[in-house]
Chains A and B, each alone.
Chain A
């Protein structure tokens, strides 16, 4: 992972990507017990491409392939880890990148999404594994409920949260 993050940081320093944050299962591991995952989700803003409104990941792939990284389906192998680069697709993800927390892995600086943003994104994505992650956050009390409520409200997820609570915390599907 050290090599992976070093190369991503270098890519940021070289202006290929903007601000980034680790999300997904690896991001959740910052707060929770480690859970098996095969890849790293890197949410990253991309430098504005003048005259082109379409988001292209080509500069990232070109940069990394020139440094010996192999492409494997939707991932690119960096330092042994399959990495998926995800430009934020909505305001929630943009906010999650902007408000990510600074940390280090084996002495290498990096950024991880806040627990509240990880939960809100999991709720928005809504797959069974995302709901399991939300329950883990709640079980381990690794979340600021006031902050979570504000994030959910800002991004119109309050009603979805209430439905989640009814179904998984109160045991009612009504």
Chain B
């Protein structure tokens, strides 16, 4: 099935069915927003460095 056909199929669903999909998408977005990977971004350049290494660097 092409992407266009899939989109048409989704658009043809009933409003109630679409709302259920919206709720799933919303829940997934909320989980992603709360997940650790996004929080790691706050650590900037040290995002993937072990915590012990960062602490050692900070001491220097």
> Do A and B actually bind?
yes
Sort chain A's interface into a size bin.
Answer: 10 to 19
Q: Does A37 sit within 8 A of B, measured CB to CB?
A: yes
B16 within 8 A of A: yes
- Hey, which chain A residues are within 8 Å of B25, CB to CB? 34-37
Tell me if B's interface is mostly helix, strand, loop or mixed.
helix
The answer to whether B23 and A29 touch across the interface, beta carbons within 8 angstroms, is: no
Chain A interfacial positions (CB closer than 8 Å to B) = 1, 26, 29-38, 103-106, 112, 140, 142
Q: How far is the CB of A115 from chain B (nearest CB, A)?
A: 11
Assembled-state Cα–Cα distance A152/B13 (Å):
28
In contact, B15 and A29 (Cβ under 8 angstroms): yes
Docked Cα-Cα span, A29 to B7, in Å, equals 12
Q: How far is the CA of A140 from the CA of B9 in the complex (A)?
A: 11
A37, B22: Cβ atoms closer than 8 Å = yes
Instruction: Select which of B8, B13, B26 is within 8 A of A38 by beta carbon.
Output: B26
- B19 proximity list for chain A (CB < 8 A): 1, 26, 29, 34, 105-106
Contacts of A37 in B (CB 8 A): 22, 25-26
Question: A34 to B26, alpha carbons, bound, how many Å?
Answer: 11
Contact of B11 among A26, A104, A112, A142 (CB under 8 A): A142
